[in-house]
Structure 1
């Protein structure tokens, strides 16, 4: 018999549904993960086996095969740990209830069975909602705005045993954290440190920036040093429309993938990279692909000060890839 449970894989910012299939049969003791897993996914073997021992599950003299479908998509990260563990427990008979098909499991496992947060959880949750899943089990993360994920039952867990008990109907879990835990993720309206309203004079460039804000145009400003170009650029975000809930989720997802912290607020992002930054830092990519400055300025402003100092390669790749104003 083969057990199937759902999880979410990421391809950049876009998520897709992953069917985690587990089959356990008598044979030489081993655990094999197939479906184009990278090294971080293959390491799930040790974490899952250690977590299973918490339930007294013995896989000695058992051959465990884990298939991550669709097999043509590369899998990375420890997000599948919890799903693999639940599927293995179901296959071993430790879970008698059926696992709903519209339920997904996201999170990394520690050796004692604790469910821990992993990189990319927010974009995975947003994708789960878009894919039509109704319920997701995942660990608590103070930087995930659960209150903004409408239409998705978010079940926050601390240990894999809590997941098992909840699936069996032996315990109830709150779909939302306590108000004290939720407070860091509540949307806040914060004033801009530099407001367009406070710029005195410069009527012509201010009029040009207002037109650029209305039409999402790119702007090139020239002039002698000290005439106010940088000040105008730094105050420009204050006249852009505030981020909607969807926009906030998109921007926060990009920042999480880049390993940067960003609170939940309505201010548009403002990025100001130095001209010595590499093309990879600005455009994104690398051996371990991460969003660059262009992506981190999504729905906001990318300010290229002293633009002539940037390399030709960087400017050519940047041009046409950014939909909002930059200098």
Structure 2
């Protein structure tokens, strides 16, 4: 029998659904991962086996085959650890309940069986929301605004045993701050140093920039040095509208993917 658990893969900022298929059969003791995994995915073998050991599972003389589909997409990062471990535990009958196909598991595993954060979690969450998935298990990350992800039930866990307990129907104690989608929490984006209203003259250029800001158009400014191009460009952000909820999440995703810890300020 083959057991499937869902996770999210990333190709740049774009996320896609990944099925972690696990089959365990008698054979030489080993764990094989297929589906175009890179080195960081292949290294999950030891982390997953350590997690299985926490449940006193005997995999002696067992061959564990993991297929990450779709097979044509290259897989990278440790975000699939949790999904692979849950599918393996289900295959070993350590999880009795059915794993629903609207539930996603993302997160890396440590050798002490903790579920830890990894790069790309926020883009993965946005992708899961866009794919219409209903429930997601993930580790805690203070810079991820879970309260902004409407219509997606985020279950924050610290240990793989908590995931198993919740799947079996036990409630987990929440440890997140009580935030709502209506909380006004601005991004860590520097305020414009110059204001558009302080620009004197340049009426035609200012009119073009106002139209561009209102209609979300691109602008190309050309002219000799000193005619005011840089000044207008510096003041342009001051007339741009406030970022929407989705746009804020996308900006934060870009920051995280390039390794900048820019998140949300405290209310």
**TM-score normalised to the size of structure 2?**
0.89
Q: Which runs of 5+ in 2 are unaligned?
A: none
Q: Would you say the 8 A contact 1:90–1:96 is kept in 2?
A: yes
- Structure 1 residue matching 2:208: 3-state secondary structure: helix
2: CA distance, partners of 1:11 / 1:249:
17
Residue 259 of structure 1 aligns with which residue?
A: 259
2: CA distance, partners of 1:246 / 1:123:
11
- Structure 2 residue matching 1:20: 3-state secondary structure: strand
Residue 290 of structure 1 aligns with which residue?
A: none
2: CA distance, partners of 1:197 / 1:80:
50
1:116-138 deviation per Cα after TM superposition (whole angstroms, max 9, x unaligned): 11111111111111212110000
Q: Would you say the 8 A contact 1:248–1:264 is kept in 2?
A: no
Residue 218 of structure 1 aligns with which residue?
A: 219
Q: CA deviation at 1:200?
A: 4.0
Residue 141 of structure 1 aligns with which residue?
A: 141
Q: How does 1:165-314 map to 2 (within 5 A)?
A: 165-174=165-174, 177-179=176-178, 187-188=185-186, 192-215=192-215, 216-225=217-226, 228-264=228-264
2: CA distance, partners of 1:141 / 1:218:
37
1:71-98 deviation per Cα after TM superposition (whole angstroms, max 9, x unaligned): 1111111110000111111111211111
CA 1:35–1:186: 2 relative to 1, 3 Å: farther
CA 1:198–1:142: 2 relative to 1, 3 Å: farther
CA 1:210–1:145: 2 relative to 1, 3 Å: same
Q: Would you say the 8 A contact 2:15–2:124 is kept in 1?
A: yes
Q: CA deviation at 1:39?
A: 0.9
Q: CA deviation at 1:260?
A: 2.2
1: CA distance, partners of 2:71 / 2:254:
26
1:6 lines up with 2:6 in the alignment: yes
Residue 323 of structure 1 aligns with which residue?
A: none
1:262-309 deviation per Cα after TM superposition (whole angstroms, max 9, x unaligned): 3348xxxxxxxxxxxxxxxxxxxxxxxxxxxxxxxxxxxxxxxxxxxx
Q: CA deviation at 1:107?
A: 0.4
Q: Which runs of 5+ in 1 are unaligned?
A: 266-327
Residue 95 of structure 1 aligns with which residue?
A: 95
CA 1:264–1:178: 2 relative to 1, 3 Å: closer
CA 1:235–1:263: 2 relative to 1, 3 Å: farther
1:117 lines up with 2:114 in the alignment: no
CA 1:186–1:118: 2 relative to 1, 3 Å: farther
Q: Would you say the 8 A contact 2:144–2:263 is kept in 1?
A: no
**TM-score normalised to the size of structure 1?**
0.73
Pairs aligned (count): 261
- Structure 2 residue matching 1:7: 3-state secondary structure: strand
